[in-house]
């Protein structure tokens, strides 16, 4: 997690976005001091629901850059991810993938490949970049937590992307029956050494299986009008002058920055 936060901080710096305009709805608790250090606003919400919460934040104030950090993305958050991608909401979804429910003992998740579990799992794991891409996300990438520079570049690019972006990060979390040093030295390096960078790889070929090396890289980067752009153009064309476009002008910062008039 430390390396991800480092990469996030570097990414924010590179992107040129003001940290105060970034907000992070997340379903995983961060160390709260980290948030102060990054200078962002942070919401710890319910499991897997950071994308709809972020959708509300973005629509409430379209000038914000919303970066949902999600752990339970393919279980509780699966539907929200699919619909967020379909709508092309301007969110940068960071999916932290540690293959299991790490904090509560290592139960399997829909991201668990069969070999990661002592008795194996009985179903196929998700290929998240492929799912995101086929649902309409503009930007998909995957890195391990040790690819700090590459990850930071991806975050910087995606922060300036107009539309749904998704970065999957392979990261070991602390587990209550192993110590953190053990994880850092072994698992992190295991991911790093068993990965191969293939930028622009077709997302269909990047599923994680025990037989193959883990494919990391920036897979797709396309363009498409965002939800609010489509909303404004379509309603303007139907209603003409009667329609007041929404979110084109960032809310004025009056009297301590409140959205005046609302």
Partner 1 sequence: MKTDPKGVLTGLHRLNGNHACAEGALAAGCRFLGGYPIVPALEIYERFLERAKQVGATFIQMEDEISALAAVLGASWTGKKTMTVTSGPGMSLMMEHLGLGVMLETPCVIVNIQRAGPSIGIPNRPSQGDMMQVRWGSHGDYEIIALCPSSPQEMFDCTIKAFNLSERYRIPVSVISDEYVAHLKEDVVIPPAEEIVVEPRRYYTGSKDNYLPFKRDKDFVPRMVNIGDGYRFHVTGLTHDDRGYPVMNEECQEYNVHPLVSKIRNYADEIIEIQEAEIDDAEIIIISYGATSRAALKAMEQARRSGIKVGSLKLVTVWPFPEKRVGELAKKVNAFVVPEMNFGQVVLEVERCSYGNTNVIFVPHGDKGVENTDDLLSAIKHATQEKSVRDGLIEYKQARE
Those residues whose C-beta lies under 8 Å from the C-beta of residue 233, and which sit 6 or more positions away, are: 225
169 beta partners: 96, 143
Beta carbon of residue 83, minimum distance to partner 1 (angstroms, whole number): 4
Beta carbon of residue 92, minimum distance to partner 1 (angstroms, whole number): 15
CB 216 within 8 A of CB 143: yes
Give the residue with the Cβ less far from partner 1, 190 or 231: 231
CA dist list (Å): 60 to 38, 39, 42, 53, 225: 23, 20, 16, 11, 19
Beta carbon of residue 140, minimum distance to partner 1 (angstroms, whole number): 20
- Residue 59 parent element (H or E): helix 50-60
Contact residues for partner 1, defined by CB under 8 A: 20-21, 23, 25, 29-30, 32, 35-36, 39-46, 49, 51-61, 63-64, 79-80, 82-83, 227, 231, 235, 239, 242-244, 246-247, 251, 253, 256-259, 261-262
> Among residues 32, 241, 1, 79, which one has the least CA distance to residue 43?
32
At 192, give phi and psi (nearest 5°). Answer: -65, -45
Beta carbon of residue 38, minimum distance to partner 1 (angstroms, whole number): 8
Determine the Cα–Cα distance for residues 8 and 161; give it in Å rounded to an integer.
16
Beta carbon of residue 232, minimum distance to partner 1 (angstroms, whole number): 10
Give the residue with the Cβ less far from partner 1, 124 or 260: 260
Give the residue with the Cβ less far from partner 1, 56 or 105: 56
Beta carbon of residue 164, minimum distance to partner 1 (angstroms, whole number): 14
Give the residue with the Cβ less far from partner 1, 31 or 124: 31
Give the residue with the Cβ less far from partner 1, 118 or 256: 256
Q: At what angle do helices 148-159 and 2-15 cross, to 10 degrees?
A: 40
């Amino acid at each position: 997690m430390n390396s991800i936060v480092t990469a996030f901080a570097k990414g924010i710096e590179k992107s040129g976005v003001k940290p105060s305009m970034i907000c992070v709805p997340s379903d995983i608790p961060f160390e709260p001091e980290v948030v102060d250090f990054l200078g962002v606003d942070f919401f710890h919400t319910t499991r897997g629901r950071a994308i709809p919460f972020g959708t509300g934040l973005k629509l409430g104030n379209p000038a914000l850059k919303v970066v949902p950090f999600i752990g339970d993305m393919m279980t509780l958050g699966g539907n929200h991810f699919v619909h967020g991608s379909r709508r092309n909401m301007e969110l940068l979804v960071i999916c932290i993938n540690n293959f299991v429910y790490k904090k509560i003992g290592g139960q399997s998740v829909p991201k668990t490949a069969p070999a990661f579990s002592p008795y194996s799992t009985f179903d196929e794991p998700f290929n998240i970049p492929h799912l995101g891409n086929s649902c309409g996300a503009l930007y998909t990438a995957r890195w391990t937590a040790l690819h700090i520079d590459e990850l930071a570049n991806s975050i910087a690019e995606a922060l300036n992307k107009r539309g749904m972006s998704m970065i999957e990060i392979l990261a070991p979390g602390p587990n209550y029956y192993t110590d953190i040093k053990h994880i850092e030295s072994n698992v992190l390096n295991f991911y790093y050494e068993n990965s191969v960078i293939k930028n622009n790889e077709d997302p269909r070929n990047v599923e994680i299986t025990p037989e193959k090396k883990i494919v990391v890289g920036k897979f797709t980067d396309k363009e498409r009008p965002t939800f609010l752009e489509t909303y404004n153009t379509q309603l303007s064309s139907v209603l003409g002058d009667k329609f007041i476009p929404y979110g084109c002008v960032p809310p004025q910062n009056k009297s301590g920055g409140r959205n005046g008039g609302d």
